[in-house]
Amino acid sequence: MRIIFFAGKGGVGKTSVAAATAVRAAESGRRTLVLSLDVAHSLADIFDLDRDLLDRNRGLPFAVHERLWIQELDIQEEIGRNWKDIHDYLSGLLHTAGLDGVLAEELAVFPGMEEISLLLHINQHVRSRRFDALLLDCAPTGESLRFIGLPATLDWYMEKVLRLERNLVRAVRPLARRLYDIPLPDERYFQAVEALCTRLRGVDRLLTDPDLTTVRLVASPEKVVLKETQRAFMYFCLHRMCIDSVVLNRVLPEAANDGYFAAWRREQRGHLEKAEELFRPVPIRTVELFEQEVIGWERLERLADRLYGGEDPLARFTREEPYRWVKRDGLYELRIRLPFAAREAIEVSRVADELLLRIGGYKRCILLPKKVAARAAVKAKMEDADLVLLFGKEDHG
Ligand SMILES: Nc1ncnc2c1ncn2[C@@H]1O[C@H](COP(=O)(O)OP(=O)(O)O)[C@@H](O)[C@H]1O
Ligand SMILES: [Mg+2]
């Protein structure tokens, strides 16, 4: 099986590239599902389908070809299926806090619900083995990246917070009932959270297994887009996901050398060269701006030709790993590829067996293996694009 994420800034062509990849995969005999998390769903439009048909399908896989399905997640449907008890409690709470019913209902869709839903679907699809390829059409970068850190955060929440909250609620319930009007979560709420966490178990291993899951970043050769793509690149690296290619889409063709687009094309050429520097050693694929929108099966085939030529679209295009543990002279070192992180911007701190990396606004908690956690303080240094964390000799004292 294969899982591929298509991520990048809005409008660069994520959905088109994901759909084209799906077309090629389906044609080569693989049962393929494209799953969309972007609320601005456009899969149906790209495959030129009657949207009504899809809307009636209510967020379930919908066949567009013998071996190709599309699925557009709908958060309201997801709430009904996965979040009912949690959502009921939250909206009850907001209602008590003085919000009117409808607003409380809407606000109780807390950030992360959609991302967790996506992870639930991935886990479920992998277990069901119904598809050979799962292609994920992500929301624009900023939002779509939150899901990566979630499994680790949830485990931590289960381990440290949930049990405590549950006991606390049990203890204070009789008192709280007398003193306040605030509803406390009941046992159903805790059970629901626990059940969700159970269903999510193992998904982080799926995402960080480079033979199974890779990320393809879609961008266009423009300054602002490349900047955002660079950030995404680093973020995926940090979370141990393998980026196996960068697609530079909508490149102006030679025909644009003269006339209105001449300056634009010159600038693009500069950015194309820059991109080579930025993303090396990850392979870059370029696709020119077509003379028409990419809509319908035939144009998607053409896009797939440009993207993959005769190659298998589901192949893993690079074997570079962003995270590596190395043992040298009895010392452990963790090498993390952070190609774009300036040295000053990285902060490393450590509490017991947890290592906290901060890079600008991003945080990442790494749980150290027992063997390493027992060792003395870490030293950090940059070597080329690698952040190298050194763990001292075993502390026998
Ligand atoms: N190489 C291309 N040539 C011409 N039009 C393209 C190309 N790639 C994408 N498009 C068009 O650009 C628009 C945005 O593409 P889309 O895949 O929806 O972007 P995203 O999912 O990143 O927001 C669509 O109308 C699509 O048909
Ligand atoms: Mg899209």
Together in a domain, 220 and 337: no
Together in a domain, 167 and 257: no
For residue 259, pLDDT over 60 is answered with: yes
Tell me which residues have their CB within 5 A of the ion that is ligand 2.
Answer: 14-15, 38
Whether residue 226 is contained in a domain is answered as yes
| pLDDT value of residue 375 | 76
Find the residues whose C-beta lies inside 6 A of ligand 1: 8, 10-16, 42, 249-250, 287, 289-290, 293-295
CATH number at residue 266: 3.40.50.300
Whether residue 307 is contained in a domain is answered as no
pLDDT band at 85 (very low <50, low <70, confident <90, very high): confident
Total structural domains within the chain? 3
Residues 359 and 346 sit within 8 Å (Cβ to Cβ): yes
Q: What is the DSSP string of 187-207?
A: HHHHHHHHHHHHHHTTHHHHH
pLDDT band at 395 (very low <50, low <70, confident <90, very high): low
Whether residue 16 is contained in a domain is answered as yes
Give the whole-angstrom CA distance, residue 159 versus residue 389: 26
Tell me the CA–centroid distance for residue 16 and ligand 2, in Å.
7
Last residue of a domain, one of 302, 334, 349: 302
β-pairing, 68-72 vs 32-36, is parallel
Whether residue 105 is contained in a domain is answered as no
Specify the DSSP element, H or E, that contains 347.
strand 346-351
Together in a domain, 195 and 213: no
Residue nearest to ligand 1 atom 24, measured at CA: 293
Whether residue 106 is contained in a domain is answered as no
Residues 3 and 132 sit within 8 Å (Cβ to Cβ): no
Together in a domain, 221 and 77: yes
For residue 232, pLDDT over 90 is answered with: no
Together in a domain, 276 and 331: no
- Range(s) of the domain holding residue 117: 2-81+112-146+207-302
Identify the bridge partners of residue 365 per DSSP, sorted by sequence position.
Answer: 356
Together in a domain, 225 and 359: no
The closest alpha carbon to 20, from 320, 318, 319, 311, belongs to 311
Last residue of a domain, one of 302, 337, 372: 302
- How much of the chain is helix, strand and coil, in % rounded to 5? 45, 25, 30
Instruction: Please compute, for residue 67, the number of CA atoms within 13 A of its CA located in the half-sphere on the CB side.
Output: 15
Q: Which atom of ligand 1 is nearest to the CA of 295?
A: 27
For residue 397, pLDDT over 50 is answered with: no
| pLDDT value of residue 143 | 56
Q: Burial code of 192-206, b = ≥16 C-beta within 10 A, e = fewer?
A: bbeebbebbeebbeb
Helix (H, G, I), strand (E, B) or coil at 186: coil
pLDDT digits (tens, 9 = 90+) for 87-141: 787 777 777 777 777 777 777 676 667 778 888 899 999 999 999 999 999 877 6
pLDDT digits (tens, 9 = 90+) for 341-351: 666 678 888 87
Whether residue 107 is contained in a domain is answered as no
Distance of CA 269 to the CA centre of its chain: 29
Cis peptide before 61 (omega within 30 of 0): no
Backbone φ and ψ for 133, nearest 5 degrees, come out as -135, 135
For residue 192, pLDDT over 50 is answered with: yes
Together in a domain, 122 and 41: yes
Q: Which atom of ligand 1 is nearest to the CA of 289?
A: 3
The closest alpha carbon to 226, from 9, 3, 2, belongs to 9
| pLDDT value of residue 285 | 96
| pLDDT value of residue 382 | 83
- The mean pLDDT of 261-268, rounded to a whole number, is 94
Together in a domain, 142 and 167: no
Together in a domain, 125 and 243: yes
- The mean pLDDT of 367-394, rounded to a whole number, is 77
Q: What are the tokens at 223?
A: 């300054």
Cβ within 8 Å of residue 93, ≥6 positions away: 108, 182, 183
Q: Which atom of ligand 1 is nearest to the CA of 11?
A: 23
pLDDT digits (tens, 9 = 90+) for 9-20: 989 999 999 999
- The mean pLDDT of 16-25, rounded to a whole number, is 98
Last residue of a domain, one of 267, 302, 337: 302
Residues 120 and 200 sit within 8 Å (Cβ to Cβ): yes
Whether residue 315 is contained in a domain is answered as no
CATH number at residue 367: 2.60.40.790
Whether residue 308 is contained in a domain is answered as no
pTM of the model: 0.82
